[in-house]
Structure 1
Amino acid sequence: MDSRFLWGMVETLILEVVSRGPSYGYEIVQRVFSQSGGYFDLKEGSLYPALHRLEQQKLLTSFWKEVDGRRRKYYELSAAGKKALSARRVEWKAFSRGVEGILDAPLVVPAL
C-alpha cells in the first residue's frame, strides 16, 4: 500500500464532493462534514492547500463566479480528475476490504 494513501484521503474526499458538481471552498467543507455525519471537519489550513495541489495536478479546474454580490472560486473535476477519482475509489475499496478482513476475523486463541 502507498504510504501516502491515508494522507491523501482529504484530496479524495474533495474530489468526490466536486464530482457531484462545481463547488466552492466553504460548500466543500460543509458537504464533507454533513455527508460524513460530522466525522470529517476540514479546516482552511488543510482544504485550500489540497485544492491548490489538485489544481496543480490538473485534477481540478476552477472558475470565478459572482453569487449574491460575492465573488467565489468554484472548482470542478477535470477529465484527469475523473480518472484519478475512479482509481482512488478502487484503491479505497480494496483497503477497506483488507481492514474489514482483519477486524472481522474470528479471534483465535493460541493453544498453550
Structure 2
Amino acid sequence: MEPGKTLSQLRKGVLEYCVLSLLRDGPRYGTELLGELANTGALATSQGTVYPLLARLRREELVTTDWRESSSGPPRRYYALTREGQAALTEFAPVWAEFADAVDRFIAPDKKHSDRRAQ
C-alpha cells in the first residue's frame, strides 16, 4: 500500500472526531478548522473534505451553526459542539486510546507497551 493512501485511510477514520475535538473549546469557522488540521501535518485536508463532513455533523445534530459578521470579509458560518457531539467525543476517546494502544503493540512492541505487559 502506498504511504499516501495509508495516511488518507487513517485520516478518514478519525477526522470527524478531530473536528469535534477542535470544537470542544468553542465555536470555530470552517477555514479556521482547516488551518488547525493543517498545522498537524498528518491531518491536513481540503475544503472538499471538511465542508461535507461539517454538513453531515450538522445533520446528525453533533454540531450547530450560526452566521457571524467578520471584520475582514463576508459573514462566516461558525460551528459549535452540541451536547450530542460532546457525548460522541466522550464515547470515542477511550475507544481510540484502546485502539491506538493495540496497534502500537504490533507496530512498536519494544516501546512503552512492553512495560505494561511485564506488570
TM, length-normalised to structure 1: 0.82
Structure 1 stretches of 4+ moved >4 Å: none
Match 2:21 to one of 3, 16, 20 = 16
**Structure 1 residue 8 displacement after superposition:** 3.5
Counterpart amino acid of residue 16 in structure 2 = E
**Identity between Structure 1 and Structure 2 (%):** 30
**Residue ranges of structure 1 left out of the alignment (5+ in a row):** 107-112
Name the structure with the higher helix share: 2
SS of corresponding position for 1:72: strand
Instruction: Please state if 1:40 is matched with 2:43.
Output: yes
2:57 counterpart residue number: 54
- For structure 2, which runs of at least 5 residues remain unmatched after alignment? 1-9, 111-119
Cα contact 2:15–2:43 (8 A) shared by 1: no
Q: When the two structures are aligned, how many residues end up with a matched partner?
A: 101
Normalised to the residue count of structure 2, the TM-score between the two structures is: 0.77
Is 1:27 matched up with 2:32? yes
